[in-house]
Amino acid sequence: MDHEALIDSFSDFKYEKNIDRVNLMSILEESIRCVLKKKYDSSNKNYDIIVNPDQGDLEIWRNRIVVKDGELKDSNKEIELSVAKKIAPDFEIGEEVTEKVDLHSLGRRSILSLKQNLLAKINEYDNTNIYEKFKKKIGEIINVEVYHILPKYVIVRDDEQNEMVLPKQEQIPRDFFRKGDPVRALVKKVDWKDNKPLAILTRKDGAFLEELFKLEIPEVSDGLITIKKVARIPGEKAKVAVESYDDRIDPVGACVGMKGSRIHPIVRELRNENIDVINYTSNTQLYITRSLSPAKVSMMEVNEKGKYVNVYVKIEEISKAIGKFGQNIKLASQLTGYKIHVFKDNPYEDDVELKEFSDEIDHKIIQKFYSLGLNTAKSILNFQKDDLNKRTNLGEEVIEKVFFILKKEFEEELNM
């Protein structure tokens, strides 16, 4: 193989692997230097290599220092005076002689080694590029096509024929694929397998649902609506908490769309996964109440230290709060970060509705408690005063007065 054929061979890689000219030149030069060092078992620093893949130019020049006859120690770096004078009669000791090296002079094994080295380095370069490309796409949804279906995973390809993997455990339970099917999935991570980059895709991750919202709902992609939290049971049910800093935008309405026009494409993509979109709020009781939708909460007791909440609902609402196979309460717990216990309404047989105290407690104060989901006397008395003060901002004196009024009601009952 002459140097023109070698350049032509690897110029094909430039276009096939999309390698730029500078990197191809660098790879060629590095590969040639590796072969030179191996052949002469010495340094290759005394060689100048000129590569121009576009024009098919490859020149190797060796530089050697002229030494006295009989004092040659390294034939790769030195040349005897008598030999140098055959090249040019005016050479003197200590001068540098530059000679062009013919590729064939390296020998067939060296040329074969050069070809193998080039192939390895070009593939390494290509794999590194693909790895970096995949790495940048982590967390993004990509469109791929099913290439091969195996029991534990599905192999897919993108437009550039790069292979990726969608494992069985990252598929929605109702997913069913045929060869050639288009698939949307999220790039979860990138690994190396057999020295090749391998992108792992997912359709089960909560981030996949979040990215679908960004694709289908302009207000989300524009940042006008923020997704605060996603909880999923893939293929079955999901809850998404959304918030807008623009009072003119109804985040739930914008996400659902007119007659569900915006949410339906997402539901279809997730194999008819039921999606509840709720308004996020920093008010813990209200957030938990919304997360348990469609069940209606009568009252609740929140334990901040234990991160659990006792929720009381009417008997006909219990099944709604728990949901099919416990899905609703499980997702509400994931969404809010609280362990939720559901009980039948009115846990205290002798409890009193808060509105019954409207002649002693100001209406605005009562409304403050209602906003926290506290509708009865004992639901308030179950709280620590300091905690209640922080939640209502009513002040210590007001809280003390409310506690005095409510406790007095039950003390009177006991003395009767």
Full 3-state SS string of the chain: CCHHHHHHHHHHHHHHCCCCHHHHHHHHHHHHHHHHHHHHCCCCCCEEEEEECCCCEEEEEEEEEEECCCCCCCCCCEEEHHHHHHHCCCCCCCCEEEEEECHHHHCHHHHHHHHHHHHHHHHHHHHHHHHHHHHHCCCCEEEEEEEEECCCEEEEECCCCCEEEEEHHHCCCCCCCCCCCEEEEEEEEEEEECCEEEEEEECCCHHHHHHHHHHHCHHHHCCCEEEEEEEEECCCEEEEEEEECCCCCCHHHHHHCHHHCCHHHHHHHCCCCEEEEEECCCCHHHHHHHHCCCCCEEEEEEECCCCEEEEEECHHHHHHHHCHHHHHHHHHHHHHCCEEEEEECCCCCCCCEHHHHCCCCCHHHHHHHHHCCCCEHHHHHCCCHHHHHHHHCCCHHHHHHHHHHHHHHHHHHHHC
162: tokens are 């790069």
Nearest to 171 by CA among 130, 140, 200, 197: 200
Would you mind telling me the total number of residues written for the chain in this entry? 416
Find residue 186's DSSP bridge partners: 141, 202
Dihedral sign for Cα 202, 208, 211, 212, please.
positive
Q: How far is CA 135 from CA 2, 52, 187, 241, in A?
A: 39, 32, 9, 28
Cβ burial of 318 (10 Å; 0-12, 13-18, 19+) is: middle
Dihedral sign for Cα 75, 81, 82, 85, please.
positive
Rounded Cα–Cα distance for residues 82 and 387 (Å): 100
The amino acid sitting at 374 is L
Torsion of CA 283, 247, 239, 346, to 10 degrees: 40
Using a cut of 0.85, tell me whether the model's pTM lies above it. no
Q: Determine if the peptide bond prior to 294 is cis (ω within 30°).
A: yes
Rounded Cα–Cα distance for residues 77 and 70 (Å): 15
Q: What is the phi-psi region of residue 121: left when phi exceeds 0, alpha when psi lies from -120 to 50, beta otherwise?
A: alpha
pLDDT at 414: 40
Our measurement of the distance from residue 175's CA atom to the centroid of its chain's CA atoms, rounded to an integer in Å, reads 21
Rounded Cα–Cα distance for residues 325 and 313 (Å): 18
342: tokens are 């559901």
Our measurement of the distance from residue 221's CA atom to the centroid of its chain's CA atoms, rounded to an integer in Å, reads 16
412: tokens are 């009177």
Is 53:41 a contact under the CB 8 Å cutoff?
no
Rounded Cα–Cα distance for residues 317 and 329 (Å): 12
pLDDT at 18: 60
Cβ burial of 35 (10 Å; 0-12, 13-18, 19+) is: buried
pLDDT means over runs of 10, the chain (416 residues) = 55 57 72 74 73 67 88 86 88 87 70 73 82 93 96 93 94 94 96 90 96 95 95 96 92 93 95 95 92 89 87 88 93 95 69 84 88 79 79 88 84 48
**Angle at CA 132, nearest 5°, toward 127 and 138?**
125
